[in-house]
Structure 1
């Protein structure tokens, strides 16, 4: 069977990786001062960071079902017999709902996967799906591989302020920290599609150092540095992200060099400038 892979723009996969595997990407939308723009097409992270710092109105919205249907139809026209469509956590966005609606009208069967994640935590699941499809696996097996890798992947992140997560309604139980946000720097994680508090620390430097330690520990728990892939995300903080990626590479030399990927406008709008994140993804067959 010929299985096509579709995802959304919040996977933040590098363009060359998308092209190499023939992955179709459906963009989410960013609304700046009332004007809707497509992520990765006509708005970039710098514009969103500047808008947030200037306290301008920034919001996000999911793709329409018709956008997904166009992607599924294009995949079928290109020869796909089935489609696996992997997306941002349904607790963060209505994107999965749009994909499910579109799948009902697609010309070929579509397996929609709620990754329960976002960013490269989802991106590595998309890559695992693409590689499985290239090996000739059917849609059900490919979808299972994507779910398994997403479930095994760990992510931690620290934000400069909880303001943006709170305003967007995506802060989860970490909302309890709002009253003490000046006294502590929360280290956050994703648990089954939700943002949760991992730890409370006193400074930004300590939060980043602790995030590094947790990433190294996760790699060791997955079987060692040769058994994982890593990514470092940031929004408008390239120097700090580069330093963090370098330290991780020194401590985990057996792993591929961490991918350094700036968060896009959609996720950036909710976490805010200065955010750093680390993703540890066990290689397929590890940490399931």
Structure 2
């Protein structure tokens, strides 16, 4: 049996993870002096409120010992091998912790850098689960996850680059340019990093452009695609974006979810993201 592991930034709900038989290892969020565990005792609303109130917010990766404990539990439950799929190694040390734990595990563990964040990592873990259930070996399962991450398109609108700048996720120069020109940036993930894609003058124009780019990406997927919309403290805006995309792409609906606390801590309130992963 091959077990699939991912981390809590993958935005998998408890029901989705259980259905796909994916084990989720949580990251931690520090609000002020209080340490919280993502998915357990911290909400995105808490993050949005803290950021709006200028309360310091930071995040912490799982330790190698925490990963090892999960790997050994899965081994004791019958796993003969493990594929561990995580957010971009260029944005977090989570994969490093997984790799260190893998070296000590009693069963073979293959660690995969999804090169993505958020639901794109979740889609990659889901692809791994599908490959496992289809009878693929460890190499095939890991490749399925890796391909999903590498071919995903993640598009993000943020009200300001300030929160990403604070966390070191984009360069200070990019944040300065955004502030100086009072623009609304559209970002993407390239080679595992958050990078500016376009700069638009107003929120309305930025969201329209975000939708156009998402449609273009979806239409390029010859064999279909998975799509999701995420947000932080912007449910009505995200819902409107999802409804317009569903209409254009001729889908009954597109899932809308609030982004997890860890990612929320870095993007700030008002973020809207659209992720497309080819099938």
* SS of residue paired to 1:170: coil
For 2:177 and 2:219, the matched residues in 1 are separated by 35
For 2:176 and 2:254, the matched residues in 1 are separated by 32
Q: Does 1:121 align with 2:120?
A: yes
Q: Does 1:279 align with 2:275?
A: yes
- Name which of 238, 241, 244 aligns with 1:241: 238
The question of whether the paired residues in 2 share the 8 Å contact of 1:184 and 1:203 is answered with: yes
Q: CA deviation at 1:180?
A: 4.0
Q: Which residue of 1 aligns with 2:43?
A: 44
Q: Which residue of 2 aligns with 1:286?
A: none
User: TM-score when scaled to structure 2?
Assistant: 0.97
Aligned residue pairs: how many?
278
For 2:131 and 2:157, the matched residues in 1 are separated by 33
The question of whether the paired residues in 2 share the 8 Å contact of 1:7 and 1:85 is answered with: yes
Q: Which residue of 1 aligns with 2:253?
A: 257
- In structure 2, runs of 5+ residues without a counterpart are none
For 1:76 and 1:57, the matched residues in 2 are separated by 38
- Name which of 161, 175, 178 aligns with 2:176: 178
The question of whether the paired residues in 1 share the 8 Å contact of 2:178 and 2:185 is answered with: no
Q: CA deviation at 1:95?
A: 0.2
For 1:155 and 1:267, the matched residues in 2 are separated by 13
Runs (4+) of structure 1 exceeding 3 A deviation are: none
Cα distance change of structure 1 residues 100 and 250 upon mapping to structure 2, 3 Å threshold: same
* SS of residue paired to 2:62: coil
Q: CA deviation at 1:14?
A: 2.0
* CA deviation string 1:73-111 (max 9, x = no partner): 111111111000000101110000000000011110000
The question of whether the paired residues in 1 share the 8 Å contact of 2:159 and 2:185 is answered with: no
* CA deviation string 1:110-157 (max 9, x = no partner): 000011111111111110001111122111110011000111110110
Q: CA deviation at 1:256?
A: 6.6
- In structure 1, runs of 5+ residues without a counterpart are 284-288
Calculate the aligned-residue CA RMSD, in Å: 1.3
User: Structure 2 matches for 1:1-288, cutoff 5 A?
Assistant: 2-172=1-171, 175-181=173-179, 182-223=181-222, 227-253=224-250, 255=251, 257-283=253-279
For 1:141 and 1:42, the matched residues in 2 are separated by 36
Q: CA deviation at 1:278?
A: 0.3
* CA deviation string 1:158-182 (max 9, x = no partner): 111111100100114x733414425
For 2:252 and 2:68, the matched residues in 1 are separated by 36
